[in-house]
Amino acid sequence: MSAQEMSAQDTSAKLDRAAAERFVAAWCANWCRVDIDAVVAHFADNAQMRSPLALTLTGSPVVAGAENIRAYWRKAYGHIESADLKILNWSWDDTIARLTVWWQLGDTRASEFMDFDAAGRVVRSEAFYGK
């Protein structure tokens, strides 16, 4: 099963810790391939994504709507063919359906949280970057 198929399968129902772990693996694989469509497939249509990079590229720190998130990521990362993204750690909070992922790409370290709806789709995401 491909990472995109696993991703679609895992977002079809409420996540638990085991599904969150599979989600992290698929999410990482999708970003390593810079498969923006596969990454956006995790998002609800009305999702919001917040990032300091969004502020730089769009003039607003918040990108709203899955299609706008797709367009933003294509603008930010569409020129890259692959990425050596490394997952440092992750945490799942079942009470609030929040996944937090700590990752590194080159010398950039980041944490990102994703809130999920009852259908297992990302409704809110926020990234924090450092060195």
Burial (CB count <10 Å: 0-12, 13-18, 19+), residue 24: buried
The pLDDT score that the predictor gives to residue 13 is 59
Binning the chain into helix, strand and coil, the percentages to the nearest 5 are 35, 35, 30
> pLDDT, tens digit, for every residue of 45-79?
999 999 998 999 999 999 999 999 999 999 988 88
- The proportion of the chain whose per-residue pLDDT surpasses 70, expressed as a percent, equals 90
The answer to whether residue 124 scores a pLDDT higher than 90 is: yes
Domain that holds residue 18: 3-130
For residues 6-15, average pLDDT: 53
38: CATH: 3.10.450.50
Number of folded domains that form the chain = 1
CA R_g for the chain: 14
